[in-house]
Amino acid sequence: MNKIAIVGAGVTGLSAARSLTAAGHAVTLFDKGRRPGGRMASREGMAGSFDHGVQYLRATAAEADAIGAGQLLPWPAIAPHDGSGGWLAAPTFNHLARHWANGLDVRCSHTVSTLQPGATGRGWQLRFAETDAVFDCDALLLTLPTPQAIPLLAAAGVAPGRLAEVRYDPNWTLMWTPADPLPAGFTHSAGAADAPLAWIAREDLKPGRSGPPRLTVQAGARWSTTHLELPAETAALELQALAARQLGIGSSSLAATAHRWRYAFVSQPLGEPVLTLGRDLHYASDAGLGSRVTLAWQAGRAAAARIAAR
Ligand SMILES: Cc1cc2nc3c(=O)[nH]c(=O)nc-3n(C[C@H](O)[C@H](O)[C@H](O)COP(=O)(O)OP(=O)(O)OC[C@H]3O[C@@H](n4cnc5c(N)ncnc54)[C@H](O)[C@@H]3O)c2cc1C
């Protein structure tokens, strides 16, 4: 049995951890967030829940069954395409991440600040921003976005190799409870690739959800890049105005919050699910095959197979 550390408890890290644990390894995940899930994120407030990261899975029924562990509901509003449809986790997407994390050793609020080769010349040693604790492992898997992984690797004297080729688009996402009634029958809409708004979805009408009428609004890649450094309050006001115009309603709000995803979607992936960067050191994430839950899950499985084979 090997002692394996995984940095990042998003889809990739959780997928790898479940696979390695099932194969009998001792796995510990570290995440800087307050709970597992990474970009599979949800916020729960007075106005109800919002999925402000992953919106839906596009998958066949067999894939949804394998990944979703019985937690996914079909979302008929998403048009079927090539045998696949839209799937939702209920009551929120973050609940699916928490379901995957059940029974795993997941240590949240642990920001990995330093990586160091193990003292015996084997394995790795991790240090953290929040505590003086030190963690030694036989093998290390990094699953954080490449712009966050590269400085950690550089400080440990590890060259990033092909990780330096990966590119991301940012995303501004608005969680909005409008004061005005929403247009009857509206469930969601997707914008053109370069439109200011890429996506609007009514949270309360998704299967398995309820509560007051409310919207998740995602800006497009170009708008998000141009407005990346806006204060969140300003981004929220601008996105409300854009969404209100598109839906033909007033822009006043009962509640509104904007979230900036600096590394939201991989625009230039590696084309391979996992990279081995050094002895007992591997990298996998959606940077490998692309920004889809199904692809990140696949990357986690591939990383687990690579680690288990060594
Ligand atoms: C707004 C938005 C909408 C999306 N919509 C969809 C969708 O509808 N369908 C779909 O299939 N995909 C969607 N995606 C893409 C999907 O979310 C990602 O492909 C997938 O979640 C990536 O998982 P990951 O584990 O590779 O990375 P992440 O989820 O980014 O996980 C990396 C983890 O590393 C942690 N971390 C970072 N640095 C450190 C550190 N130093 N120490 C410890 N932990 C650290 C982070 O906290 C994070 O939890 C969307 C993404 C965004 C942002």
Q: Which helix (H) or strand (E) holds 160?
A: none
Retrieve residue 63's tokens.
């894939």
User: pLDDT by residue (tens digit) across 275-297?
Assistant: 999 989 999 999 999 999 999 99
List the residue whose alpha carbon is closest to atom 31 of ligand 1.
Answer: 10
Say if ligand 1 is within 6 A of residue 300 CB: no
Q: How far apart are CA 136 and CA 139, in angstroms?
A: 9
What are the domain boundaries of the chain? Answer: 3-59+90-166+269-308, 167-267
> What single letter denotes the amino acid at residue 114?
T
pLDDT over 90 at 46, yes or no: no
How many A from CA of 124 to the centre of ligand 1?
24
Per-residue pLDDT, averaged over 253-266, amounts to: 97
Q: Give 120's pLDDT tier (boundaries 50, 70, 90).
A: confident
Q: Which of 29, 35, 51, 144 to mutate to test the pocket of ligand 1 (most atoms within 8 A of CB)?
A: 144
Say if ligand 1 is within 6 A of residue 33 CB: yes
**What pairing do the DSSP bridges indicate for beta strands 72-74 and 85-89?**
antiparallel
What order of strands is seen across the sheet that includes strand 134-137? 112-117, 124-128, 134-137
**What pairing do the DSSP bridges indicate for beta strands 134-137 and 124-128?**
antiparallel
Q: How far apart are CA 41 and CA 35, in angstroms?
A: 9
Q: How many CB atoms lie within 10 A of CB 183?
A: 10
b/e per residue 110-129 (b: at least 16 CB within 10 A): bebeebebeeeeebbbbebe
Among candidate residues 174, 171, 267, 266, the one with its CA nearest the CA of residue 227: 171
Q: How far apart are CA 229 and CA 225, in angstroms?
A: 9
**How is domain 167-267 classified at the architecture level of CATH?**
Alpha-Beta Complex (3.90)
Between 93-101 and 11-22, two packed helices, what is the crossing angle to 10 degrees?
30
Kindly report the backbone phi and psi dihedral angles of residue 217, in degrees, each rounded to the nearest multiple of 5, phi listed first: -125, 120
Please give the pLDDT value at position 69: 85
Say if ligand 1 is within 6 A of residue 86 CB: no
Widest pairwise Cα distance in the chain: 66
Say if ligand 1 is within 6 A of residue 101 CB: no
Say if ligand 1 is within 6 A of residue 40 CB: yes
Q: Give 206's pLDDT tier (boundaries 50, 70, 90).
A: very high
What is 3-59+90-166+269-308's CATH number, 3.50.50.60, 3.10.100.10, 3.20.20.70, 3.30.200.20? 3.50.50.60
Say if ligand 1 is within 6 A of residue 32 CB: yes
Please give the pLDDT value at position 92: 95
Q: How far apart are CA 122 and CA 271, in angstroms?
A: 29
